[in-house]
Amino acid sequence: MLPTVDTLHSGGTLHNNSAPISRSHSSVAIGAIKSHIRHPMHKLESRSDVIRGFSPAWFVTTMGTGIVSSLLLNFPYYAPPLHSIVMHPQQSMLLGAIPMGLGTLTNSLVLILRPYDVSWMPTLALVLWCTDVVLSVLSFLAIPFLMISNQKHVLESVNATLLLPVVPTIVAATGGAIVASVQNSSVATTVVIISYMLWAMGMGIAMMLTMIYFVRLVFFKLPPKETIASAFIPLGPLGQASYGIQLLGEQANRLFPTELIRIANVGSVLESVGFIAGLMIWALAIWWFAHAIYSALHTRIHGKIPFNLGCWALIFPIGTFAASTNTLWSMTYFSFFRVFASILIVGLSLVWVSAIAFTICYAWTGELFKPATVVQLELQDSVSDDSDSEEEAKGEGLERPHTTSAQLQV
């Protein structure tokens, strides 16, 4: 049988050219798609054929769309409508976790595949990062506006989840520095400039919301035990901002001297500013880290901390703080940062394993899938039990920390 795809070269060696052919097929398919996008209606002799070719058969599309819409609205398994989630003063805050999750996956994709020089990875990473930016900006602009226009917030029930809608822009800025490291110079420069803008947007509003949360702590004390893990959330924007500004400084020094030649020394200046700003933000994060640990220990002394999905809120903030510490070590080679980063990474890994184990156990029993109304009733019962115990303690001349039902809103 004569080979059809393979060709014989000198020496009688058989070489397989199937890979180039498959690549040529993919390039032809991509070219056809681009041609279809650039030339709409190209299969018609005239644009007026659109009118002449219209028939009642098109109304079948409205029939199909209408029945699918009706079925989705009457889906047999109940799911809370998006409107109720968006308008909820607590659940809407968690929408910021969607772009942050996509951002961390994009960063991991780049960091894992970068050493292997995978040809399609830069394009995929850029597409994922752009999607993450759109979702982050949407969360950053929409949720805070709903907070002041439609939602009803009480200072006593506010917790650190208030920060979640604005942190995605800082995460996207950090991801921009990582994605830019595998792009060509012009694309990478655009990504870095956009990332600086995202960093400034998120960091500014995050500081304002952190102040609101601190005021809430001053007047109404620590959150209840069910949401005490939220005390670690302010560590997230600080650790991520410190980590991101350092990475952006490195990319600016790599790209700007050749891409922004009209601005002298901008790259080296931004790298220096990134290090100094990252160090100062990291130092501010130390206070919140210590405060969160004190809060958790204080709450544990006064009673058992129940596990819920909110306990996962402490892993990402500590992770960003550890990443910032690790970056400070790579820039300074100070042994303190190296040892501290190692302790944080090992400790956080153990916490993650514990969280995974508890999540599997509680999910198996169905505890994590209880409807919000059932959880709220149980919390109200626990509040009444605490109030009875408090009255008994007062009768014995003892004082107990006071917890209100408003603080237990999830």
Check residue 122 and give its pLDDT: 94
Long-range pairs for 175-179: beta carbons < 8 A, 24 or more residues apart: 175/103, 175/106, 175/107, 175/129, 175/132, 176/129, 176/133, 176/248, 177/244, 177/247, 177/248, 177/250, 177/251, 178/106, 178/107, 178/110, 178/111, 178/247, 179/106, 179/110, 179/122, 179/125, 179/126, 179/129
pLDDT at 403: 39
pLDDT value, residue 245: 97
CA 198, CA 172: separation in Å to the nearest integer? 7
pLDDT at 102: 94
pLDDT of residue 120: 93
pLDDT reported for residue 212: 92
Look at residue 328 in the predicted model and tell me its pLDDT: 96
What structural domains does the chain harbor? 82-373 (1.50.10.150), 374-410 (no CATH)
Query: How is residue 7 annotated by DSSP?
Result: E
Question: Contact 241/223 with Cβ under 8 angstroms?
Answer: no
Tens digits of per-residue pLDDT, 212-247? 999 999 999 898 888 888 899 999 999 999 999 999
pLDDT value at residue 84: 79
Structure tokens at 283: 């130092």
What's the Rg (C-alpha) of the chain? Answer: 28
Q: What is the pLDDT of residue 103?
A: 94
Distances (CA, A) of 183 to 120, 124, 179, 188, 225: 11, 11, 7, 5, 46
Q: What's the pLDDT at 81? A: 67
Extract the residue ranges of the chain whose pLDDT is less than 50.
1-22, 373-375, 377-379, 381-410
Nearest to 181 by CA among 124, 259, 101, 111: 111
Distance separating alpha carbons of residues 24 and 14, to the nearest angstrom: 21
pLDDT for the residue 26: 61
